[in-house]
Structure formats: C-alpha cells, structure tokens
Amino acid sequence: MSLLQVDKLTVHYPGQPLPALQQVSLGLSPDELLVALGPSGCGKSTLLNVLAGFIAPTHGTVQFDGKPVSGPGAERAVVFQNDGLLPWLDVAGNVAFGLKLQGVPAAQRAAIVADTLQQVGLADAGGKRVWELSGGMRQRVGIARALASQSRVLLMDEPFGALDAFTREQMQQLLLNVWQRSQRGVFLITHDIEEALFLATSLVLMSPGPGRIVQYLRPTFSQRFLAGESVRAIKSDPEFITLREELLASLTRTQHEEAA
C-alpha cells in the first residue's frame, strides 16, 4: 500500500509549450527508497514539488495516506540540494526546528536532537554555527532536520548534487544506514546514474519533453550494502556496471529522440 501516491499527474507551467510532467503515476510505500533518475529538465523537481505540496497539479491527483495533498505538511519533510538551513540557529537549533514548530517540549526535543545528530555523525557539532560547516556537514544537518521532525516520508531534491565525489559517496552510505533505521519512505531525485542504482529499492527513469516515466526498475544493491557488502565491491560488480551502462544508453536514446 502506497503512503504517498500520484495518479495521472500532469503539470503544465503557464506559458510553456510542453507540460513539465505528463500522465505520471507513482507510489511510495513506507519501507521504500524510491529514486527518480533523469537528465535535468525532465521534471524531477516539479514532481518532488508536487509531492511536497509546493505546486498544485494541473491534472491528476496527489494523495498522502489516502487523503488529497493540498499544501506542504510536516508529514512530508523536504531535503534540498542547498540545505535551506536557518543561519540564525545553531546546528542543534536547526535540527530541533521541526519539533519546535510542532510544540514538542524542550527536554524531549533535546533527546531527539542528540540521537539524530549521532545518527548522521555530527554528535559533537550541535553548537556549531551553520556557516562554519562544510557542504557535506550541512547536508547532514539538512537530513537530520528532516529525520528529527518525525515526518513520515523524506523528499530529497538532488541532496548530494553539490558535493564532491568522495563526500557524495559517504553521504550515500549514510543515507542508506539512516533510512534503514528510520523505516521511513524516501523519495530521492538525482541525475547521477550510479547514485540512483546504488540507493534505490525502486527506480523510475524519467525523460523530458514532456516529462514522463519511461522505465521502472527494482535494483537490489542497497540491500547488499546494508547486508554488509562494501560500496566499492558493489559499484564494481559486473551486474552493477551492466545496469549502469543500460541506463546510460537508455538516457542517451531518449535525449536523441527529444532532439530529433
């Protein structure tokens, strides 16, 4: 049963020749890490913004837990590429922000914040100012903030897109560990094929002009990682490489079709 569900979603920005999304249907269940992969401009952010409630569908429906989504809400926390942290709060204050908005008492808040910071490897950074952090650390704070808020799904818009390759891989592993512990549905968008294959339990491949889903996959690499296999072993596995090349070919094909 899907927790977050879109049916026949079409989004047409005013003044644009083509819809950004056309007839997209998709469900996210609570135990799933769903990745939308596609080149930039294929409507990934638009899809995420509809799920988050920032944009209303032109046609089609969005439902959370069986009820129509009418705007942003605490059960659907968003993690952005550029974290969107609040610089007037320290790291702990940022992580506690969602709980504070919901009126959770301070003592309880502190306990949750400490636990969440621990999970993302920032146990000692609670008192740091946001601008003292590296990009990777800031992204961890963004994830911790979404986790601490007790949301039921996490929506992540290219969360590691601005990080260097090394930090990016670290963050992918961190995300898988955190996801396994939190047992929350995660919807993540990326244009990085390796990232998509490594993280996803479900993967949709998207294509532009108009934005649509062209392929569904169910990779199992994240389970292998969580079962103890190393990242390098997984990403250099022939099976991983074959899938990666297939996806790349498929992406290139849709790009060419669009150009034609």
Partner 1 sequence: MSQQEHVLPVPTAPAARQRTWGIRPLAPWQWSSLSIGSLLLLWWALSASGLVPALFLPSPAAVLTKLQSLVVQGYMEATLQQHLLASLQRMLLALLAAVGIGVPLGILIGVFPLLRHWLDPIIEFYRPLPPLAYLPLIVIWFGIGEVSKVLLIFLAILAPVLIATTHGVASVHSIRQQAALSLGASRGQLLRHVILPGALPDILTGIRIGLGAGWSTLVAAELIAATRGLGFMIQSAAQFLGTDIVVLGIIAIALVAFVLELGLRRLQRVLTPWHGKAL
Ligand X SMILES: Nc1ncnc2c1ncn2[C@@H]1O[C@H](COP(=O)(O)OP(=O)(O)O)[C@@H](O)[C@H]1O
Contacts to ligand X by CB under 6 A: 13, 16, 20, 38, 40-46, 211
- 30 preceded by cis ω (within 30°)? no
* 34 interface partner picked from partner 1, Mg ion, ligand X, none, CB below 5 to 8 A per type: none
* 53 interface partner picked from partner 1, ligand X, Mg ion, none, CB below 5 to 8 A per type: partner 1
- Is the alpha carbon torsion for 132, 138, 142, 143 positive or negative? negative
CB 194 within 8 A of CB 244: yes
Task: State the minimum distance, in angstroms, from the CB of residue 142 to ligand X.
Answer: 18
CA–CA–CA angle 28, 152, 71 (5° rounding):
80
Q: Which of 68, 71, 105, 127 binds partner 1 (CB under 8 A)?
A: 71
Residue closer to ligand X (CB basis): 21 or 77: 21
74 binds partner 1 (CB under 8 A): yes
- Is the alpha carbon torsion for 57, 59, 64, 68 positive or negative? positive
The whole-angstrom distance between residue 148's C-alpha and the CA centroid of its chain comes to 16
The whole-angstrom distance between residue 215's C-alpha and the CA centroid of its chain comes to 19
Cα(228)–Cα(116) distance, rounded to whole angstroms?
Answer: 22
- Interacting residues with partner 1 between 36 and 65 (CB under 8 A): 52-54
45 binds Mg ion (CB under 5 A): yes
Residue closer to ligand X (CB basis): 83 or 157: 157
151 binds partner 1 (CB under 8 A): yes
Q: Which of 40, 73, 248, 252 binds partner 1 (CB under 8 A)?
A: 73
Binding site for Mg ion (CB under 5 A): 45
